[in-house]
């Protein structure tokens, strides 16, 4: 579904990605794990068209999207849920959700998705008219995820959905991610919380200083001594 081939991204003279190749097949959950600054978020930004790669190709469903504008990429069903607190704090919860569906023409499908989001996260329904900045950290992450659902993703890029959240909220978020997959959404999950990510994922890639160093089925990586030492706390 998503093919990345030899992707290079630089910030000025600093190479952030030095030839990344990875693949996400339809229906999978693929995890991309690595420490802070390894290039995880940069990879997602490049896929979403927010950064122009120096070299390399990104294909979504067989079509090259490397030079498309971010909005065109979203409209093809490749949606990114950015890291936790990037909700629009001055917009209401309802406006946040509405904005993410703004490009969709099928109003009844949008209404169905809204109902679904409010069903998944009832707290968002109670707070629809509230300014999103007043939500708690966990609620903001729910809003971010709900917002992505409103964009009708077929492939969802999730950036650190567990970052800075209480364990109970993390459980809930990962539950919803698993549900989404069951409904046919393919997922590329970027996480520092490697243990959570590997438990959920089918396959995973390990990224270190801008390059993929390992790739294997998630259960294998969970047992891998190098991964255990570096990301799973020994």
Question: Which positions lie near another protein, rule CB under 8 A?
Answer: 48-50, 69-71, 74-75, 79-80, 82, 86, 88-91, 95, 98-100, 102-103, 147, 151
Gap between the Cα atoms of 175 and 89, Å rounded: 25
Neighbours of 25 (CB within 10 A): 12
Report d(CA 40, CA 30) in Å as an integer.
Answer: 13
Nearer to another protein, 31 or 150 (CB): 150
Could you tell me the smallest distance in angstroms from the CB atom of residue 129 to another protein?
12
> Of 173 and 194, which CB lies nearer to another protein in the complex structure?
173
Find the shortest distance in angstroms from Cβ 162 to another protein.
Answer: 19
The answer to whether residues 78 and 153 touch, using CB atoms and an 8 Å cutoff, is yes
CB of 74 to another protein, least distance (A): 3
CA angle (139 as vertex; 135, 140 as ends), nearest 5: 75
90 or 182: CB nearest another protein: 90
Least distance (Å) between residue 7 CB and another protein: 19
The least distance separating another protein from the CB of residue 213, rounded to whole angstroms, comes to 28
Which of 54, 228 has the CB closer to another protein? 54
DSSP symbols for 26-79: TT-EEEEE--TTSSHHHHHHHHTTSS--SEEEEEETTEE-TT--HHHHHHTTEE
Q: Give the Cα separation of 223 and 108 in Å (integer).
A: 46
Give the angle subtended at the CA of 147 by the CAs of 59 and 132, to the nearest 5°: 140
Q: How far is the CB of 211 from another protein (least distance, A)?
A: 25
**Closer residue to another protein in complex, CB, 25/103:** 103
For the record, the structure tokens of 28 come out as 């999978």
Asked if 7 and 52 touch (Cβ cutoff 8 Å), the reply is no
Q: Token digits for 163? A: 């970052």
Which residue's CB is nearer to another protein, number 31 or number 158? 158
- The count of other CB atoms within 10 Å of the CB of residue 107 is 9
């Amino acid at each position: 579904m998503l093919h990345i081939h030899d992707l290079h991204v630089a910030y000025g003279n600093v190479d952030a990605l030095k030839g990344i190749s990875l693949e996400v097949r339809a229906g999978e959950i693929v995890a991309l794990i690595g420490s802070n600054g390894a290039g995880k978020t940069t990879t997602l930004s490049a896929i979403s068209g927010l950064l122009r790669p120096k070299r390399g190709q990104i294909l979504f469903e067989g079509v090259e999207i490397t030079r498309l504008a971010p909005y065109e990429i979203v409209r093809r069903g490749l949606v990114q849920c950015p890291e936790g607190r990037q909700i629009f704090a001055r917009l209401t919860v309802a406006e946040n959700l509405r904005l993410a569906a703004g490009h969709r023409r099928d109003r009844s499908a949008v209404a169905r998705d809204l109902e679904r989001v409010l069903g998944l996260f009832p707290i968002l329904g109670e707070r629809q008219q509230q300014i999103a900045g007043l939500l708690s950290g966990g609620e903001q992450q729910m809003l971010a995820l709900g917002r992505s659902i409103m964009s009708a993703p077929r492939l969802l890029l999730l950036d650190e959905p567990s970052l800075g959240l209480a364990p109970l909220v993390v459980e809930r978020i990962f539950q919803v991610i698993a549900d989404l997959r069951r409904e046919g959404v393919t997922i590329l999950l970027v996480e520092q919380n490697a243990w959570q990510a590997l438990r959920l994922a089918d396959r995973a890639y390990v990224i270190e200083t801008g390059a993929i160093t390992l790739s294997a089925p998630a259960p294998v990586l969970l047992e891998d001594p190098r991964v255990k030492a570096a990301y799973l706390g020994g």
